[in-house]
């Protein structure tokens, strides 16, 4: 969102990607506005909330999957047991398993 949050006494613009930018009303940063479209505070807030929801949903999806996946160790152990590693890698893994057996 352009790294800028909705603030009081600011004017808001969005770029073509929908990112929101806030600039001081005094015009001191108008040279940074370039090809952005002016939006009202209310429009800016709606765009920011939509982006926050999108980010949350993306993280929520990843976090839900992460907690249900088997650990990497379990996945690798399964691959080893299924014979999915090269002979060289299987030999290295077996040597570690033999050196430190389950008790």
Domain positions in the chain are 10-68, 70-103
Strand order of the sheet with strand 20-24? 20-24, 10-14, 37-39
Asked if 12 contacts 6 with a C-beta cutoff of 8 angstroms, the reply is: yes
Q: What is the reported pLDDT for 7?
A: 46
Predicted confidence pLDDT, tens digits, the chain (103 residues): 455 554 457 899 999 988 889 899 898 999 999 899 999 989 999 998 998 898 888 887 788 788 889 999 999 999 999 999 999 999 999 999 999 998 7
Give the residues across from 23 on adjacent strands: 11
**Torsion-angle region of residue 9: left (phi > 0), alpha (psi -120 to 50) or beta?**
left
What pLDDT sits at residue 62? 80
């Amino acid at each position: 969102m352009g790294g800028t949050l909705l603030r009081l006494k600011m004017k808001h613009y969005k770029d073509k990607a929908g990112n929101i930018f806030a600039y001081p009303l005094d015009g001191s940063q108008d040279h940074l506005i370039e090809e952005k479209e002016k939006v009202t505070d209310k429009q800016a807030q709606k765009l920011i909330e939509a982006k926050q929801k999108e980010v949350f949903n993306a993280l929520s999806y990843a976090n839900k999957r992460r907690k249900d996946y088997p650990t990497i160790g379990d996945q690798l152990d399964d691959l080893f047991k299924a014979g999915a590693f090269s002979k060289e890698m299987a030999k290295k893994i077996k040597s570690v398993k033999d050196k430190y057996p389950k008790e």
